[in-house]
Structure 1
Amino acid sequence: MNPSMFAKLDELFHQAMDLKPGERGAFLDAACGRNAEFRRFLEGLLANAGRPHDVFENSPTGVSPTSELSADEDMEVLVGQVLGKELEGSGERGYQIVRLLGRGGMGLVYLARQRNPERDVALKVIRPELATPTWVRRLRHEAQVLAILNHPGIAHFYEMGAENGPIKRHFYAMEYVDGLPFTGYATAHNLTCNARLELMGRVCEALQHAHDHGVIHRDLKPGNIIVDTTGQPKILDFGIARLTNTSIQATTMHTAPGQIFGTLQYMSPEQASGETASADVRSDVYALGVILFELLCGKLPHELREKQNWEAARIIREEEPTRLGSVDRSLRGDVETIVSKALERDPARRYWSAREMGEDIRRYLHHQPITARPPSTWYEVRKFASRNKTVVGFLAAILVIMASGLIWSLVLLARVKDRNARATKLAETFSDVLTFADPSQNPDTFTALEWLNAYSRQLDESFPDDIEVRARIGLKIGRGYIGIGEYVTGVTRMEEAYNAYMNAREYGPRHRDTLDALIRLANAKNFAEERIEALDAAALALSLGRQRGDAWDDPLSIRALSEMSRSLSRIEEWQKDALSMTLTAMRLAESNPDMDPDAKLDVMVNTVRVLTACHQTQDFNDLHDRLLSALTKRRPNDPINPNHSIHPRLAAEVYEFACVLVGQSEYDLAEPWLTVVMEYRLARFGEDHPEYLITLLSMGILRETQGRLELAQDRGHNARRRFFEAEELFRRYAAGTSNKWPGRPDKLAQPLCTLTRIGLRLGTVSLEDVQEVLDSTRDHLVDSNEKRANWLVTDGLCRLRSGHTLDAWRELDAAARILENANGADAIATKRTVQLRDQVRLLIEDFAVEPR
């Protein structure tokens, strides 16, 4: 193409950009006529209109690798014209071209040697035949942006110019960054999670410098952040940056309303909506959230592969991003909270600046409480309600029917169809594994895990294409994993089973077996404490069942109601409704003669859980007796502790109830229940089993708390007795944990820390021993608020005994704030966090009092 044709192309391009996408086809027909090559070129420009950064991208200087050049003969000719030569008209600062670093759609980037001062630089050059006013203006715009900024985390700008020779090349010189793209650097150097966070913290600092100077990047992505050979990340490619400083506003690159600029995968919802005026610094913060998500788990928060641009933009605008902890459970807690806050769809709920995000990252790395709070469960339920208006209507209908007494007059539906014979044999074999995987029947969790893994492999190898068998047996395997506490694997298997039912031709979304799988999936997600996901699944099952005509007292409807009540019981604002719902489900189950007895028991056990979560202690006692009687009649051969009348099926619920009583400071009421469970689990499983060890730990916490209360009431002798009992319990816990998980210091860190704290009170350990424990456990107690606070409390006591009162106060106060923040983020704090929070409060009030 000659220069006049390129000028015409530039003119038509801007005319087409002013049209709606649906109107461009007719315009191109009229403008291009039969010139297919011209139309193809123009369509290519329009397809990349939202990505002007493509001029120079994807290399250490923001361009494509040179390996892409071989297919472009015209480009090779252009490269050959300048390699080894000096840019004409560049004066005494002359630039000697060394090699081509890469190219984009309309530009080139060279590695060049500058004459004065002598240094390597990156030269960004617009192809001469494409040097239209629009692209020259964009090059000048990026150069001006870089000239404003001066930070080690941003590539430095040197100068801009143009050759005065026969071929006029517009260019600017900038710092040559020799390194790797952001995520690629982390992978190549196998960085730890903390090292990746530290790297992101430095990017936040650099970006904040840009924001402080009125520059919004608008196209942050891993390819535009290069980490050099010293480990310094540098932000590149400010080609579509927006300038907010009024003194330089006139040079800002403006965009038409509705025009989308940037890279979709890393784009904020407001950018994806084409709302360029509302895209402020928080849009860059959103992009940082996407990059950090990818940096930590290797995936993007939205699945956009093979999606058309319009569909990808809709997903970003309307759908919630994946939670980091659902991809990698080890990242749950503060790290997930930081990423989630950056990825809020509503800009008002995001970090207000890159500095704020970077400061939270630094707080986490220094074991300090972060300022971001997880979204409250009530907020998530409101979002659930907005997504499921029909289901929320069903909830209202439930309460109306309950009030009117009409629920007892509803009609029963047909029973479940006979099972398919192809899966019968494997299912019968697998029933033994389900029993084997039940902790109440088999104490050897690890052997059960081996069996489950073996059956999973057998299922995958024997029935790779049999959707129905994979659905039925996969569901059972998932239940087995849930039974031994392998929640992530269990949920995954059950999701696969549910999806298999959905995809089977003879089943589909409204088939009873599909709905049964969906309710079981909700149950599994409740066990995994994925409350909103569980609520979604149970509500969907109820909705689909009602659409197919199921009555309220249909067994599937009852079970769905029961699982929904369990999810809602953990949300303070919905606990009243959860109680009504669970009691209704239980009454419906008890009055339905056609409901499977085991399913009825499941509903009753769920009711126990809901009562426990809602702290309905009196109702719990009554229901426990009824449930114990029902279990004994249903399974007369199940072992029951003869001294304490505890049933294996109820051990977990009784333990939860005891923990609730501890959380309510009802220590005397909690002690007999906790003792019952501890003795049962010791006799049933042995002293090294996790079920017994966790009960032992809770009893140790209870004894320590009782000792502290005795101390506060000036009963020093009783206090010392309680502390000695607690110390013995923690020693037994540490010994059992060491035997069960040899070589796992992370498992021992928390009990050792607590044991040391008690020994410090009793004078049974030296300050040197305490400091040694603190040093060895510091790095193993950062994955939860409770563990970090526990460490801080022990460190505070050590400083107190050493006479460093002010430092002690700081540590104890930091622990208290961590726990207060944790409680504020979720209406129902975990039981042990509540216990530890109360301990910290009393320590801060009476820290100088010692047992006597």
Structure 2
Amino acid sequence: MLAQEALADAEGETTRADCEQVGHWHILRPLGRGGMGEVFLAERRDGGFVQQAALKRLKRGMDSEDILQRFVQERRILAGLTHPNIARLLDGGLDASDRPYFVMEYVEGTPITEWARAQALPLRERLSLMRKVCDAVAHAQSHLIVHRDLKPSNILVDAQGEPHLLDFGIAKVLDDARDTHETRTGLRVLSPAWAAPEQIQGDPISTATDVHALGVVLYELVTGQLPYHRDRALTTGSATSSEYDSLVRPSQALRHLDAGQMTQRWGAGAPEAARLARLVAGDLDRIVLTALQPEPERRYANAAALGTDLGLYLDGRPINARPDSSAYRLRKFVLRHRFASAATALVLIALIAGFGTALWQARLAREQAAEADRQRTLAETHLAQAQTQARRAEETKRFVVSLLKSSNPELSREGVQTSAIALIRDAATRVDGLDDAPDTQAELQVAIGNGLISLGAAEEGRARVETGIAQLRTLGPDAWPSLADALQIQAMHDTATGKLDEARRAGEESLAIYDRLDRPDLALGRIATLTTLAKNTQFRGDLAASQQLYERILTERSALLGPDDPRLAVDWNNLGATASRRDRYADAEHAYAQASRLMALDPQAPESRQAWLHLGRASALIGLGRFDEAETAGLAALEVAERTLNPDHPMTASVRTMLARLYRYTNRPDDAVDAAQRARATFSAANAIQLGWTEAQLGLALLDLGQNAQALPVLIAAENHFATRSNREEPDYFLIRAALAFTRIRNGDANALALLDEALEELTRRHPGPSNALAETLTLRAQAAALLGHDDAAQWREREIGALTTLLGPDHPRTRAAHRRSR
């Protein structure tokens, strides 16, 4: 996705920084300057991979404590937001002169009001576009972030018609006590035309502040003009309710426009003003005016509420916003005409005095006292939570800032850019010093351990995870959610390395904690644990049970998120993998198609996940006999994995193992050996559970080349790794035993035929149905009979052909190849 940050206009020349290198990024040209930062178009090249992005850096001389805090806060805010309509943070650090910078997606777009006019967008499409903006703002608000500078130039629409929310430079974290730079300096940075009254007056900020700005943008989209006429230079002073009282309803503003003005504001083909005014009058007027109320408590509480009412309006259903009550209008009238109303007010006060009033006031006082007690208790609870969150956020910030400084090549002892694993090891050293914050320390131990494992330092990482888990166990019920998550991580990595019993125990303990807590906000964590247990069951060889678990997980996540949520892609991917292992290739192809469809709905999804989908689809296509398509998909998986991960990542080994099997089936044994050898080296270094299966493919490919002596130790290792890291019940284990026996026959040991027959007999007894393992084992048995000159060689060929026909069909390339071998 391309993206661009919109900045406030700044006088003076834009600083040129052509040819400058900042971290991994090469600056191409300036994009703009703001009050504290400058933004450049930057490019990163890694091998054949090229990525363009927007790089924002603090301007020279803007290194005061307040400005630096605001810049760092913007980076921290972006790091915590993941939404398709919010520009995503990609990188960050310090440049050669120790100025902080961060890198985000470069969106090439047009301000939302200009885009709507250029496209002559109809009213419904304008409102639908605004709903997406509300959803993005609501996502930020759900993370306690108030943007504070929403305006068209910070809401860009790309060529595909998708809005993107930009520039969190003056955003506020609602529970962050450290966000005091405005009150400390007296500075209030805002855009007057879109600012809420409380911003101009210096009153407290809330989520309703962003609602007001959204209301101004919505007013612009509907009428083509701003609701107020404010001084552009205004940064302090008062914004009274008189603005609201004199505000022209959107429908009324439209009725005053002639055809030329409508074309100027709405674009070519603009609707008739009177007709559009009739559509706007009523509910849409009320939505806009509710968002623009001068008092925050009378607006929509947040962006989500505004987006909900826009949706209700578009669906033709009753909206939630209500017109002003008579009492409210009377109070506003009195405030506007306080002197003329004074005498009347005195008379009214005398008339309502008396016993009835006293009783009413007493009851009201009791109710208010009870409500005050309830609110005080609630506030104390929220304050304690906020203080805990603030403390942990501060600890984490200091921790991350120290890491960023250590990764600066000019500050490091070696004078070179720090590698990912070196950075994590540095983090591991630093986290040991957080003894005064045991909760933060424990969670960071687990996160660091997880990172080390992912980068290939499995034993070192597992030790860190275990340390974090042990520490979390001592912290009481408040740490249970983190403990459940840490146990799931341990179970996931133990499953991947073949420690299936340990993994199951950790996974079951994690699930028990989630069930005991029974909290809706932890539902996705519980599903992650169920997924790990399903994979554990799959690796134990109980494919039917693992498929049932995956189907249950898909049902639960779909009920929680909806059937079209991109996060369901992982469940379809797991169902596809299980179907492939059960030799149900059409079901697997369908599952991977569903996963691809859902993944395409998430523009923020890491590209590396596409490698898994390509790999899964390639495996299904091999089973379906579409070898050319399978190779295309497999090579696409390898390209994505090597580019987005690294050439020695376990993902690339999985792809190469699949390609080795494909090359065996297409009579390319040299290619199969090369692919399998590279995969074996990667899996060996990672101590991965898939090592035995990869060695089986390598041994079988060496047999195809007639390299019997080289195949023997490989297949011995495969049997050992399969028996110790997977289990002895899987069909493929008996295929490996049969291949090892066949190798010994080729090396002159005729007695090994009994071992081959024993493996075949156990396979058919434990797994009586058709399977790929059975077909390949019968192929070896037929070759052994022919090699030994036995009279039953033809019968074994017929059994081989029958198994392949039942499994794959008579027209499958492997079935036809078996027919050719029997001639």
Report the TM range for the smaller structure's normalisation: 0.3 to 0.5
Relative to the length of structure 1, the TM-score reads 0.36
